[in-house]
Structures are given as structure tokens and as C-alpha cells.
Amino acid sequence: KEKRINQIIDERLKPATASLFSSMEPSTVTLEEALKLMSLPREVGVDPSDGEVITAQNGRYGPYLKKGTDSRTLGSEEQIFTITLDEARRIYAEPKRRGRGATSQSVIKQLGDNDVSGKPMSVRDGRFGPYVTDGTTNASLRRGDDPTALTDARANELLSERRAKEAADGPK
């Protein structure tokens, strides 16, 4: 397909750009620093476990590692240039701390099976405090309830109250 002359000129004349680190002042950037920034994203290496390429780059929210669609935050901007493949693999071995890919809330205590659903209940530590769940229904613990000393009977009671409240409120 034919290209217009403007498209050809635009493709040839686009200059390469790179963002400065938050710690840098535009007036004090040296040629070496500028060339270092232009080299980003930096390939850290290939993860032997799955063959994915790990890159270190600077983004809108700071420095991060990227492996396929998975990304992890780095501690400082200087780590972009100094991080090794082993360090990057260690970072990926840890669970995500927050965001959509974060691990689920930690289990405080495992309980018996729920009377209604027959599923095992557990007390978990969530964003808004401790709660009991059977995997389907979640019920917050009351102020007087101790998460570590919660009994199966009390957990069943809380889940039953929650189900009754959901039934009364109707579907969302």
C-alpha cells in the first residue's frame, strides 16, 4: 500500500525521548545520564523457569520490573540499572502486595463446616477488619468477637444473620 509523503517524513523525524527520574533536574543532566535513560527499558535477563524476558523500566508510577503481563514495583530508580536476574527472580517469587493480583486476605483461624452450605468456614483478616466466610457468604465480626477464639456456633450465627440480611435487602 502506498504511503503519503507526510507519513514517511513523520516516521523518519520522530526523535527518541525518555523521562527523567524524579530526583533529576533537567538543567543538571549530563550526557552519560541522558544516554543511560535512553537505553531503557533494560533487559535484566530471561527467567529460566518459564522463558519469559524480565525488563526493568521507569513508568508513570515509578520504577518497575515487567515479565510478560506481570509487573512488580522496584524500591528505587537506581535499581533499574543495578538489579540482577537473581534479585528480579526473588522479587517475582514473593506474592504481590496490593492491586488486582494481590494475594487474598490471610486466614486467622480455620473452623468447621457451615450448617447451611456445608463448606468449611474460616476467619480472615480483611481490608475492613476480621470476618468469617464459608467461601460464598462473608460476615463481619462484631466488636466483642475475638477472631482467634471464635467458635463454630458463633460463626454459623454470624453467617446466618448475614444471609438473612442479604435476603431482606434483595439482589443488588
SS3 label, residue 172: coil
Q: In angstroms, what CA-CA distances link 38 with 18, 31, 41, 105, 115?
A: 6, 10, 8, 40, 62
Q: What is the pLDDT of residues 132-147, one digit of tens each?
A: 999 889 999 998 889 8
Q: Pull the grid cell for residue 8.
A: 514517511
Residues contacting 34, CB < 8 A, separation 6+: 18
Half-sphere exposure of 97 (CA within 13 A, CB side): 4
pLDDT at position 75 is 87
Give the DSSP H/E element, type plus range, for residue 42: strand 42-46
Q: What is the pLDDT of residues 91-112, one digit of tens each?
A: 988 877 665 555 556 888 899 9
pLDDT at position 99 is 58
Which regions of the chain are under pLDDT 50?
none
